[in-house]
Structure 1
């Protein structure tokens, strides 16, 4: 997973949270310990085997899908200079072809962006601003996501769906993980899991049964004392039929090409 600040900044074009639920005060006989400072080193904790197995099972199942579509209904926190937290909603639609094609169409309260990868080039289009930028891209989805992040600092919404399977480095970043319990998301029976990494907490709800699809994702940025949060509820279409034209970018007649700026 990219660090949450990268997700939040890329979504404050949307991907990447919600106002947190009111917390129940700790009993007076056992006052709560002070929370660790944002970004502070945490003591070693346990990653439950069942929680880790669930992530691997989900990743393995996603790898069996040759194509898929997702509609993600999202909420992200934006924090004002005086610390007031605002919620902004958005909808992101995905078309994905393995190993080398995707379109991510993002519409939020503050921005509209569409990202195209056709197996050879990567394009960012800002239709309302009438600008677009295109660069040559590697031969796979995963390599393209890595390249645009490393070169241009672009972290795409929910890109972690491309990355979990077989990635030992991500597993090593987990400080803790546990099974929260069963939950119903949009009428679907799921299992709820919670994980912690150095700079973020995240939760995932995975569909029960033979199709372990992620149905909801929550990411909380622990580097910011206000804890800005990103939430996505996911609806899936498995193995739809796509053609090469579905991943091709054709600029509008009045759209102007611009160049990517390298990340500092």
Structure 2
């Protein structure tokens, strides 16, 4: 009888423990812990800001509402050479734009390959302040500017709620797949796991437009670039026409 009593007691205690660790359906619930998306993207921003030099090859796709009839997707190929504090070269080729940008210690040049004209400006020497000047005073948008700043973690800290979707491979690299959303846009990022938190891919959805245009970018990084200093110099041909770059005022030029 004592033996039977002990067996029944053990069975009862096991049932109580199982019920305590189960939901109402009787299935065991475990809480899975995921990395924080905000921490992942902030690590990526800080890592990029510390790089003194790099080259990047990127492929971008952008949606546009073509003639009010349908959504068309356009593709561009971008190459970037960067050397801090003040040297930058960007080549853009694709469906809509074919341009080159040069920043060489305070001298900025933009060259349109189709029209064969160029313009030059004297702007601040450092890349961060030079980009600010181009955007704010001349309304010149530089391709992939979000990876060029050295202090992006201070400029656009992710304040909105983030989501962790798991891991996936991009161009042979295992990446965290994360996302953020707010009232105007959604963004997904694929950031390399490990000691090199490089942004390998991102997708942005514009929620301000009814047709929800999407842009996507895949990045291939070279952290030990072999470019020469001549890559940051622009030399026009005899037929290339120089034009003036007018400053931009809010509300118009």
Query: How does the TM-score come out when normalised to structure 1?
Result: 0.77
> How far off its partner does 1:166 sit?
5.8
* Matching residue within 212, 215, 222 for 2:207: 222
CA–CA distance in structure 2, aligned partners of residues 102 and 233 of structure 1? 20
Q: Contact 2:56–2:222 (CA<8 Å) still a contact in 1? A: yes
Distance 1:68 1:133, change over 3 A: same
Moved more, 241-250 or 185-194: 241-250
Distance 1:112 1:103, change over 3 A: same
* Matching residue within 53, 72, 76 for 2:39: 53
CA–CA distance in structure 2, aligned partners of residues 49 and 198 of structure 1? 24
Which residue number in structure 1 is paired with residue 243 of structure 2?
258
CA–CA distance in structure 2, aligned partners of residues 255 and 211 of structure 1? 42
Which residue number in structure 2 is paired with residue 188 of structure 1?
173
Which residue number in structure 1 is paired with residue 92 of structure 2?
106
Distance 1:67 1:164, change over 3 A: closer
Q: Which protein is bigger by CA-based radius of gyration?
A: 2
The alignment covers a number of residue pairs equal to 216
> How far off its partner does 1:82 sit?
2.4
> How far off its partner does 1:177 sit?
1.6
Structure 2: runs of 5+ lacking an equivalent: 1-33
Answering whether residue 195 of structure 2 is matched by residue 207 of structure 1, we say: no
SS at match of 1:151: helix
Larger RCO, structures 1/2 (Cα 8 Å, 6+ apart): 1
Q: What pairs up with 1:1-264 in 2 under 5 angstroms?
A: 50-163=36-149, 165=151, 167-171=153-157, 174-263=159-248, 264=252
Distance 1:218 1:128, change over 3 A: same
RMSD value, Cα? 1.8
